[in-house]
Homo-oligomer: A and B are copies of this chain.
């Protein structure tokens, strides 16, 4: 009986199985504009799990405004809060053309996959910047209409399997040659004439392209906010429950930018706000 146990080959197989399992407990996240109506999300997961059966797949967001790389850039940037992993961003109006398919390694240790339209760049930046950028060799994959499945999910699975490196799936490109981000931020809340709505959440809170790092300098101050042809005067607060129900508030969006919200109401409905709308802001003495 002990002889059966002292079988080194069995031991090695056991160990390898455990180690492989350990390795492939990779996090893969998906950000798309497919909407939850799409079978495409499930199909991409199938392709990934075929290659890497033990990985954990996180749906980060599938309701990016159709073709909006600016909304996609903001949403994808929140992968900062996900564990190190392989992160896909598929907002790809040029699918089927000769736009490049990218795989970027970044300093935090993640790999970012998506089309070369700037959508990966904000996320790459908050994760410490690009180490290496690769153009996926799409000739080795067969895709006509659904690159999310036939290229990006396949590459994600191959990389997560532990059997492939970035250099196996494409060729290096100088990061300077990549398309830049469509999302550019103002750094302070101040008099601003052309801020943009970059996201609207399900409570109707409106996220704008102004960083909130300096929020402590403007807490309790009042600003006039104009979106399209409507305007309100609103106070900056640490959170939206700090103002009476039905009142507007400017606060952090939870990810480092300002959000225009109405406590238990919908700022989106009030302004009939849409992603891409201009936002004009002026500081005012008081309400």
User: Footprint of B on A, CB under 8 Å?
Assistant: 1-2, 4-6, 8, 11, 14-15, 17-18, 22, 25, 27, 29, 34-43, 45-47, 49-50, 53-54, 56, 58-63, 66-67, 75, 78-79, 81-83, 93-97, 144-146, 149, 201-203, 238-242, 251-254, 264
| B241 near A82: Cβ-Cβ < 8 Å | no
Cβ-defined contact, A63 with B36, below 8 A: yes
In the complex, the chain B residue whose C-beta lies closest to that of A203 is: B66
Asked whether A95 lies within 8 Å of B241 as measured between CB atoms, the reply is: yes
**This chain's copy number in the assembly:** 3
Q: For A62, give the chain B residue with the smallest CB separation.
A: B36
Beta-carbon contact of A81 and B22 below 8 Å: no
- Contact assessment for A239 and B11 in the assembled complex, using a CB-CB cutoff below 8 Å: no
A42 to B17, Cβ gap below 8 A? no
Q: Which 9 A-B pairs have the closest CB atoms?
A: A96-B239, A46-B82, A35-B202, A96-B241, A42-B60, A146-B254, A37-B202, A39-B61, A37-B63
Say which residue of B25, B78, B95, B239 sits within 8 Å of A145 (CB atoms): B239
Whether the Cβ atoms of A145 and B60 lie closer than 8 Å is no
